Structure 1
Amino acid sequence: MQLARLTARGWSTICAATQTAEGQTMTTQDNHAPTPADSVIDWLTKGTRDERFIDDIFAQMCIRLQHAGIPLKRATLHVQINHPQWLGARMIWADGMQGAEIARVDYDVRERSEFIGSPASEIIEGAAELRENLEQDPSLGRKHALYDEMRASGLTDYVAWPLYHTLGKQHVVTYATDRPGGFEPAHVAALKKVLPVLALVSEIRIKNRLARTLLETYVGSHAGQLILAGATRRGSGTTVRAAIMICDLRDFTKISDNWPRDDVIDLLNDYFDAMSEPIARHGGEILKFIGDGLLAIFPLHEPDACAKLLDAVTEARQAMTALNERNRATGRAPLNYGIGVHVGDVMYGNIGSSSRLDFTVIGPAVNMASRLETLTKQLGRTVLLSRDFAELVEGKFELERVGKHEVRGFSDPIELFAYHG
């Protein structure tokens, strides 16, 4: 799975200071003696303003350190990013690479052998510096598969340090060389001199990526982009024509009253996975989860938006069938649900109090989709579509005409269609 790149918008003027493990301030002025790192520090502070990606900055920094005379062969940067699906990311650069490879790090990594006893674990557990002579007899050094791999690839010396960000956040940076005899003291001094500036440069990018991740997680990718672009004023918004989908779980109150709490949470997560992943895969935007329901839109300015919505419904129903089969195998009752679909103009923007806003959609079209979802139980259909929506997918999908029905809050009966995809 490819990890999203760690990005940032803009640059704040930086000072060359960051906290050390003891809470003291270390700056690039602490050591006035010139080192091979000075040109790299100057580039980090002045030459990366327009660079959005920390992996590119890290790779270019390593190349510049090589040009400055430091015999780097391999370097890694380990960062925590608090993504809903993974704990962090590991960026790996090696001699000859123009960029860095990025790999995700799962939340259960601390329970794995690849982490237990590793350099990263020692740093995270409090080591201020880790140095390993890879030329010595392996029986005399630290024991971990990573050290064996580095020896086998011809590396001779390895050093790792914590990379401190504000509010106690700690990450890890490592360097290795294949130079006979390892790093010289001047090499290590130069690498240490870069640490405070690398910490500041990386924190700016990572925190901006974290802000984007949190917005994407809680309000969706499109709404998150609008908020980051400045759409934060209460009442601000725009009119969007969209296909609207509202889904709700049946008998959830009964389930939540009778099932253990953890089982209810697991059930909801499985149900939302089954529904949400197809929506996202087909270009829909999930605006909110409401208890056991969800609201999603497919803006019509996107090609074939209505067809993509029904494709998402088809895949979601297949996923729910598979989930119910698993539930039956464990003695749980199958989950029933209803989906209402309509199309129309909605107001898309900020609504709420002066200090707490919700980025959502409102309007009669949303109300119609909600009413249709309610009617699914009464009419014995899982998915109900309005005529307005059905006309936009006519001939592309097989629909069942259900007839005209009264819809609460609307004066005229609405012709409805069922979809069994």
Structure 2
Amino acid sequence: MNAKTLDRQLEVIEWLSQGLRDEAASEKIFVHLCERLMNAGIALSRATLHFRVHHPQWLGTRVIWTRGLPEVDVHTVAYDVEATDVFLRSPFRVVIATGNEVRQRIRIHGPHIFPIYEELRQQGHTDYAAWPLDHTQGRRHLITFATDRPTGFDDADIALIRSVLPIFSLITEIRLKNQLARTLLQTYVGPHASEQILDGATTRGSGTTLSAAIMICDLRNFTLLSGSQHRDRVIEILNEYFDLMADPIEKHGGEILKFMGDGLLAVFPLDEPGACQRLIAALAAAYEASARRSSTKFPVQFGTGVHVGEVMYGNIGSKRRLDFTVIGPAVNLASRLETLTKQLKRPVLISGDFVASAGCAAQTDCLGMHSVKGFDEMIEVHALRI
């Protein structure tokens, strides 16, 4: 390695080692890396970064950097991508399967072993290289570089890229694991709870008091369903039901704290404007979507109890297994109202306190005062018109 190449290598490695403490996004670091390599004399024309992030809805993320464009393209990648013909007939499959570098000078004429090489040739690129980015625990990602310089990459270019990739891999692993932790927490405990946990609320008994509108939903006839349908069909119906409920709840600013078998618990914090009205809107949208759903032997039907009040919001559980949830009399009342829907044969029952807070009396039928298990005083119960 000559002195010039060594100097270029040291400049990029120093930047990777010391200049990224405040940059949390791997995509931005990737863009800066491409710019640094360009400044170091490598005639990059295109580069891509492929991460497996294991999001609930997609396998990974693909970032495409193109010289001269003001923004990078970021795309999500579906879980079934590795079964597609595009993946099977690409250098990506070789790199992921073997962990080896792939290098291809793009011919001006003649067929290529992989279709992507022909696409790159048509775009004016002359040389292409792909490397694995190996993280711990056997997780493998991918990075590629292309040039449009007529002579392609020279040996010094390839040597420089090879020398910086191990550090780039380490840096992106730290960021990717931070992103994965956030994604997993948001998936399993919700966005608000996940932020509290990431901020350090991990001690048993830690938490806050939260004023919120509360809803508890439960799927009807689940015992009959689970006893008469194949397991996969039961899961499919459960997922349909949860989609019917979850999408409008999240759209209207609520947070699902827990899936409980065939039920769910969600809150709309009162420190956000119009929380009670947004809960009503979410319920209306969910039941409207349920009514539009095509009829089956087991149509998705559910009952909902709604109340408003203070709840204790935090960590509860054993020494080594905690649950971040809400508890308190307000949650208990919402649960009792959900149970009462079966007796009163109305799909949504709402406490008088909630009706007063939401100002939604015109949207409900007052069903009078009812005894509710666990509460000494009679509760005013309303049924939402669905």
Q: CA deviation at 1:33?
A: 7.0
**1:112 CA displacement:** 2.0
TM-score by length of 2: 0.96
* Residue of structure 2 in register with 1:302 after alignment: 272
| CA deviation after TM superposition for structure 1 residue 122, in Å | 1.5
2:378 maps to which residue? 413
Find the partner of 1:338 among 296, 300, 303: 303
Is residue 236 of structure 2 the alignment partner of residue 266 of structure 1?
yes
Following superposition, the deviation at residue 321 of structure 1 comes to 2.0
CA contact (8 A) 1:406 1:413 kept: yes
Shift of 1:127: 4.7
Rounded Cα–Cα distance in structure 2 between residues aligned with 1:127 and 1:182:
23
Q: Secondary structure at the match of 1:333?
A: coil
Amino acid across the alignment from 2:385: H
Q: Which residue of 2 aligns with 1:68?
A: 40
User: Structure 2: any 5+ residue segments left out of the alignment?
Assistant: none
Alignment root-mean-square deviation, CA: 1.6
* Whole-angstrom distance in 2 between the partners of 1:120 and 1:282: 40
Q: Which has the higher helix share?
A: 2
CA distance in 1, matches of 2:320, 2:175: 27
Per the alignment, residue 93 of structure 2 pairs with 121
Q: Which runs of 4+ in 1 moved over 6 A?
A: none
C-alpha separation in 2, matches of 1:36 and 1:43: 11
Give 1:335 deviation, angstroms. Answer: 2.5
Q: Distance in 2 between matches of 1:354 and 1:277?
A: 34
Contact persistence 1:289–1:295 (CA under 8 A): yes
Cα distance in 2 between the residues matched to 1:371 and 1:32: 75
Letter of the aligned partner of 1:56 in structure 2?
A: K
Residues of 1 paired with 2:335 and 2:119: CA distance? 58
Distance 2:362 2:44 in 1: 59
Q: Give the aligned length.
A: 384
Q: Structure 1 residues 194 and 310, CA, compared in 2 at 3 Å: closer, same or farther?
A: same
TM-aligned CA deviation for residue 36 of structure 1 = 2.5
Amino acid at match of 1:82: H
- Does residue 179 of the first structure (1) align with residue 149 of the second (2)? yes
Paired letter, 1:124: I
1:221 to 191, 195, 199: 191
The percent of aligned pairs where both chains have the same amino acid is 52
TM-score (norm 1): 0.88
| CA separation of 1:396 and 1:176: change in aligned 2, threshold 3 A | farther
1:383 lines up with 2:348 in the alignment: yes
Matching of residue 356 in structure 1 with residue 328 in structure 2:
no
Q: Map Cα deviations across residues 253-286 of structure 1 (whole Å, 9 max, x no partner).
A: 1110111011001111111111111111111111
Structure-2 separation of matches of 1:396 and 1:118: 62
Shift of 1:35: 5.3
Q: Given residue 368 of structure 2, which amino acid in structure 1 is its aligned partner?
A: G
Partner of 1:150: 120
**Distance in 2 between residues matched to 1:110 and 1:82, nearest whole Å:** 14
Query: What is the alpha-carbon distance in structure 2 between the residues aligned to residue 54 and residue 220 of structure 1?
Result: 23
Aligned pair partner of 1:370 in 320, 328, 335: 335
